[in-house]
Structure 1
């Protein structure tokens, strides 16, 4: 390695080490809020299909297969949109992919309000899903690359709590339009409201910086230095040009000049990391899509009116907002692996209890509260854990591949069959099946997962053994 190589590696590591000591100051807090707002707007668009389905079932006399097609078409688009978006985000940057995705799903959500039959609606929701696929994982990636390594989980939890707010808002919006408009018009109004995210694009363009780690990979250290120095000035920290993290430095030295490709995900150690982290992400998705898309319908089937079912769902989602904040703090303190396993085990038990018949209303309410609380709490640790498994040039590719797999298996395949299963095996057995699937997905992270909390993403994402002897080595 030449002196020039050593010089720029030391410079890059110094900037990253300085970035990793920045507390959650005003600028970082603003970025957390801005990325959370992106999640609110996109999740509102995704979740709006739940009240739309509730309204269209009677208006269009939909059969279970038709309901399943509408419910799963958007997620199928997300699945297909994730894969190319991940690669583009690794090559060209996170910000451009985020903006393109928002524009795509906003426009086609607006167009879908003019659908005349369920086939048209499914097609437009599929195209909107392509854009959503380019958006959803980006905030997790940026937060993992912006925020101090000791507070990554907390930042993701805070931002992700706003995501839960979106799912509460769309059911509240459904309750409002149901009262304000005839049912044959209300669903169109909901979809028009779902097109609002395009209004945030100018704000993102102006105020959201590109990932510092991507900028370094693209040979733009001056931009990173200016950003880091601004954060240091804001936090009252010195511009320490000698600060380095020795373990992260070793990673940069060993991997200097190494080329990575999508095929690396099929090789050790990343193949095993994919299996472990993708399975962990699957665990909350198993129940999430059911309660998000069919939650109001299930509560209506349990005896609530359509209006009250939407209100009850909104109230339950508020619990998810609280749990996201708490689980971020717990994950940073006790580790994401252990936190995720405990959280999702409780979610599985409460899911099985939710399907019990001939029990008191109090038991049903308690089971629903626990289910919504802990299922939503499963996302911050599992998504951040997944982002921590890959190097910078594969982080978006690996994370979006994982999102694609999880959403296809649950949001497409499982969601399509839920109405059919509900009519064949009944509510109790369906919820037991969901609980067992959730617990099954936790086995890999329990036995093969690694500790990632409090460690730089250069360390967690490398295949170089830079861990201390007191910490479990990466697989």
Structure 2
């Protein structure tokens, strides 16, 4: 049976009062490991594209299709993954996603031709879609609102580590084999982290908030009690009594979630419609720049007639710049708020993108490339947390997967990634990067005007704000704070 309102309130208050300890770090690092595995898998294509292009005699359009192929799968699979996570739980969907894309990457290393490789990369993206969104849903639902954006920066830095590992390993692996073998070896290495599935199954907890709202309150209680026991051992003292504030008490409904096609449509209806449109728009502007950097920076440097080893070194430097950006963004977002932090980073990324396109010297391009990837990729921690916070627990995974799949993956990842090399061939790098900078400016303004600030509130408080005052009528005479 679903938990009563009082049980859900108490559970939320117990989770919110938990301090940051080694347990919190261990939980976040478990999630980070899944993102490192995924980022390496996605980025692996960028370093083998310069090999595949002459080896398979690929046209500009075929290069674009291959670069976008996994993102096509991510886009198709992300919303269904959100629905599955809201129905079956966050943990099984995350585990299934890692198992799926790692297994298909191993198979793709054996692809006999371009068409087969294209299909396998597209299918692998179905699992990547689940892996992209689950860590952030779990973070919102298990980590206190006081520090969750900072830890989101850790998760995003894990993606950065995965992307940075790609050119490092490329420097070791690719020159060691003939071209027709090197790309296959690299994809085989990309699929080996399938073993991480066991680690997630063994050690990752399910979201107690989701369990409670799904009618599995006994399981939620066991997990929270185990966490509390571990935290008390780490701090060497009893935890304070949980306190339910009036804002929290007025925010939480007790209904059990029922996930269906109607759940997917709910994010397109009031009171969520405006925030879905705004956050989807911003996701497009942010991810379009990011995917240009991840998929094409090695190829753009190669266009300057630089040798493969130097291309990989320059790409490594540019790709490395995103990690400090992600860490800084997460910390600033908890301090300044989601909206001003996003505005700061998004503006810097537009400047970097524009001047990257106008530069002709490889070293100058590297400098501007570092700025736009530092800021574009760096804006992701608070932004992903921001759109996860826009929706209540019963539709959170569906809502965040909608914003990211349509704005970030479909428009920013698939459409823009596929047409980018065609636009560069037709109009040049300068005009193409100017166009994307203008698009990014427009989407930034939409987000700033229409998206509400969410920093500093618990998951339940955000739920009450999203639903509006009509749901805040129960216990309206309750005292400001009440201990349960």
Tell me which interval the TM-score lies in, with the shorter structure as reference length.
over 0.9
Cα offset, 1:328, TM superposition: 0.5
> Hey, what does 2:428 align to over in structure 1?
426
> Hey, what does 1:32 align to over in structure 2?
28
> Hey, what does 1:471 align to over in structure 2?
none
Distance 1:12 1:446 in 2: 33
Work out whether residues 18 and 228 of structure 1, in 8 Å CA contact, stay in contact via their aligned partners in 2: no
Distance 2:307 2:286 in 1: 27
> Hey, what does 2:376 align to over in structure 1?
375
TM-score (norm 1): 0.93
> Hey, what does 1:106 align to over in structure 2?
102
Distance 1:133 1:364 in 2: 31
Match of 2:297 among 285, 295, 298: 295
- Superposed CA offset, 1:90-148 (max 9, x none): 01100000111111111111111111211110000011111111111111111111111
- Superposed CA offset, 1:237-270 (max 9, x none): 53555521321221114x5467672222121111
> Hey, what does 1:245 align to over in structure 2?
245
Distance 1:80 1:365 in 2: 33
Match of 2:411 among 406, 409, 414: 409
Cα offset, 1:11, TM superposition: 2.7
> Hey, what does 2:367 align to over in structure 1?
366
Mean Cα deviation higher: 379-388 or 301-310:
301-310
Match of 1:442 among 441, 444, 459: 444
- The answer to whether the aligner puts 1:398 opposite 2:394 as a matched pair is no
- Superposed CA offset, 1:342-371 (max 9, x none): 10111001100001145x665433212211
- Superposed CA offset, 1:413-433 (max 9, x none): 111111111110001101101
Corresponding residue SS for 1:454: coil
> Hey, what does 2:194 align to over in structure 1?
198
User: Using a 3 Å threshold, how does the CA distance of structure 1 residues 231 and 275 change in structure 2: closer, same or farther?
Assistant: farther
Work out whether residues 171 and 313 of structure 1, in 8 Å CA contact, stay in contact via their aligned partners in 2: yes
Work out whether residues 73 and 123 of structure 2, in 8 Å CA contact, stay in contact via their aligned partners in 1: yes
- The answer to whether the aligner puts 1:94 opposite 2:118 as a matched pair is no
Corresponding residue SS for 1:244: strand
Work out whether residues 247 and 459 of structure 1, in 8 Å CA contact, stay in contact via their aligned partners in 2: yes
Work out whether residues 286 and 437 of structure 1, in 8 Å CA contact, stay in contact via their aligned partners in 2: no
- The answer to whether the aligner puts 1:389 opposite 2:385 as a matched pair is no
Cα offset, 1:236, TM superposition: 4.4
Work out whether residues 22 and 231 of structure 1, in 8 Å CA contact, stay in contact via their aligned partners in 2: no
Cα offset, 1:307, TM superposition: 1.6
> Hey, what does 1:213 align to over in structure 2?
209
Work out whether residues 216 and 224 of structure 1, in 8 Å CA contact, stay in contact via their aligned partners in 2: no
User: Using a 3 Å threshold, how does the CA distance of structure 1 residues 16 and 112 change in structure 2: closer, same or farther?
Assistant: same
User: Using a 3 Å threshold, how does the CA distance of structure 1 residues 127 and 391 change in structure 2: closer, same or farther?
Assistant: same
Match of 2:116 among 114, 120, 135: 120
Corresponding residue SS for 2:173: helix
Corresponding residue SS for 1:23: coil
Cα offset, 1:337, TM superposition: 0.9
CA-atom RMSD, angstroms? 2.0
> Hey, what does 1:140 align to over in structure 2?
136
Mean Cα deviation higher: 280-289 or 302-311:
302-311
Distance 2:221 2:385 in 1: 28
Match of 1:318 among 312, 317, 320: 320
> Hey, what does 2:478 align to over in structure 1?
none
- Superposed CA offset, 1:390-421 (max 9, x none): 01010001111112102011211111111111
> Hey, what does 1:473 align to over in structure 2?
none
Work out whether residues 70 and 124 of structure 2, in 8 Å CA contact, stay in contact via their aligned partners in 1: yes
Distance 2:244 2:435 in 1: 50
Corresponding residue SS for 1:22: coil
Mean Cα deviation higher: 225-234 or 288-297:
225-234
> Unpaired segments of 5 or more residues in structure 1?
468-475
Distance 1:106 1:286 in 2: 25
> Hey, what does 1:451 align to over in structure 2?
453
> Unpaired segments of 5 or more residues in structure 2?
473-484
> Hey, what does 2:468 align to over in structure 1?
464
Corresponding residue SS for 1:425: helix
User: Using a 3 Å threshold, how does the CA distance of structure 1 residues 169 and 311 change in structure 2: closer, same or farther?
Assistant: same
User: Using a 3 Å threshold, how does the CA distance of structure 1 residues 17 and 244 change in structure 2: closer, same or farther?
Assistant: same
Distance 1:155 1:237 in 2: 24
User: Using a 3 Å threshold, how does the CA distance of structure 1 residues 431 and 21 change in structure 2: closer, same or farther?
Assistant: same
